[in-house]
Amino acid sequence: MERRLAKLLGNTAKHMLTGLQRAFRAVALTGLIVAIVVAGVTEVVGAVLTGQIPPSGPTHLAAAALAIAFGYAAAITVAIEEILRAIIKAVELIIEEAEKLEKKAAEELAALARGAEQEAVRFGHSAITDAGAVGRGVAGVIGGVTGGIGHEVHSVEQGVAAHLPGHHNAQTSADSAPAERR
């Protein structure tokens, strides 16, 4: 992710610097061409209006002033245009990279979702197996406790029955019968 961001920033900076270099070249070239054309036209117009073939000093001054003003205006106009072009190109590059990142993130999210689904199924099977084992263990404990309680209840019943008058005679006569026969 950091590499992709560094690459994006590097590409954006490269495009911005290339645009800035192109802007400086276009500014210098445009300003110079416009200044030469305006100075030439001003000299020709001054010569035609005054009728002098080498124009006078004020005509040269006017030509220089107009050349500087128009050259500067044209250069600034071109500079702004080139800078805006570079900014637009950088924004397009950022949007393109963002779309690539979004696509990559969607793919990774889908892969993570599939992995999470598999883990959930595996965890569910494990939980069911563990619950079954716990259930069998609890059933065994309950069965053992119930059996122990049943045995104790039987012992208590025998102990109580031994103290009951009718039960005791039946029990002693059954116990003593084999002894009398001997």
> First vs last Cα of the chain: how many Å apart?
102
Segment 18-35, tens digit of pLDDT:
877 888 888 899 999 999
Is the pTM for the entire model greater than 0.75?
no
Task: Return the DSSP state at 182.
Answer: -
Reduce the DSSP state of residue 164 to 3 states and report it: coil
- Overall average pLDDT of the 164-171 stretch: 57
Task: Give tens-digit pLDDT for 45-60.
Answer: 998 888 888 888 888 9
pLDDT exceeds 80 at position 70: yes
**Per-residue pLDDT for 89 more than 70?**
yes
> What is the per-residue pLDDT for 182?
44
The reported pLDDT for the residue numbered 114 is: 81
SS3 181: coil
pLDDT above 90 covers a percentage of the chain that reads 20
At 29 the pLDDT is 92
CA 32 to CA 19: how far, in whole Å? 20
- The full set of domain ranges for the chain reads 2-117
The band of 119, judged by pLDDT with boundaries at 50, 70 and 90, is confident
Per-residue confidence band for 101, with pLDDT thresholds at 50, 70 and 90: confident
The better pLDDT of the pair 115, 131 is held by 115
Whole-number Å distance between alpha carbons of 36 and 29: 11
Read off the DSSP letter of residue 123: H
Output the six-digit token pair for 18: 């290339």
Nearest to 16 by CA among 71, 94, 101: 94
Looking at residue 110, what is its pLDDT?
84
Residue bearing the bigger pLDDT, 149 or 96: 96
DSSP 11-69: HHHHHHHHHHHHHHHHHHHHHHHHHHHHHHHHHHHHHHHH--SSPPHHHHHHHHHHHHH
pLDDT at residue 144, as a whole number:
66
Q: Which structure tokens are listed for 124?
A: 């569910």
